[in-house]
Amino acid sequence: MLHVFVPDIPITEKVLRSVVVYLFLLVAFRLTGKRQVGQLTPFDLIVLLIISNVVQNALIGNDNSLGGGLVGAAAILALNSAVVEVTYRSRRARRLLEAQPTLLIRDGRLLEDNMRRERVTLDDLLAALRRNGVTDPAHVRLAMLEENGGISVIRREADAPGPEP
C-alpha cells in the first residue's frame, strides 16, 4: 500500500519535470496570442486537450504514484505563484510574460494588419462592437484587444451616450 504514496522517481526529478513543462507552456501560450477561455473555439479546446495529454508523460515520467502526482502539482502551483508575484512586482517581467493590448480600430478605421497579426476576424470584431452597443466601426474612436483576450471599445465623443435628463 505504501507504494501508492512513494514516487518511483526522485522528488528533484519530479519537480524539475514540472518546472520545465510549466515554463515551456507559459512561453508557448504567450507566443500564440490572446484569447479568453470563454472565447476558445472548438479547435483551441482540442489543441489544449491534446497538449495536456502530450505533456503528461513529460510531467510524470515512469511515476504513477499518488505522492508523485501531488509533488508535481505542488511544484506547478508554487511556480505559478512565483510567476504571479514576479509579474506583479516587475514591469519588465510583466512586459515579457504578459501580452500587451493591440489597437484594432482607431478613429473609425479598421487596422487590418493588427487584426491579421492577432487573428481577430471581422466577424469577431463586429460581435464585440455589438456587445458594446455599437453597430458601425465608423462610430468607434478606439477598439483594443486587451491582454486578457477581451475587446474594449471606446465610442467617438459625438456617438457616446450622454447623461440622461
Please check whether residue 19 is in contact with residue 79, taking contact to mean a CB–CB distance below 8 angstroms: yes
Q: What is the pLDDT of residues 120-151, one digit of tens each?
A: 999 999 999 999 999 999 999 999 998 878 89
Assigned domain for 142 exists: yes
Q: What is the pLDDT of residues 39-78, one digit of tens each?
A: 666 777 777 778 888 788 777 777 777 788 888 888 888 9
Percent of the chain with pLDDT over 90: 33
55-68: burial string, b at 16+ Cβ within 10 Å, e else: beeebbbebebebb
The residues with which 143 forms a beta bridge, in sequence order, are 105, 153
pLDDT of residue 134: 94
Assigned domain for 118 exists: yes
Domain shared by 138 and 59, yes or no: no
Q: Does 107 have pLDDT greater than 90? A: yes
Assigned domain for 164 exists: no
Domain shared by 45 and 76, yes or no: yes
Domain range for 110 is 102-159
Quickly state the pLDDT bin for 116 (edges 50, 70, 90): very high
**From CA 82, how far away is CA 88, in angstroms rounded?**
10
Assigned domain for 39 exists: yes
Domain shared by 123 and 46, yes or no: no
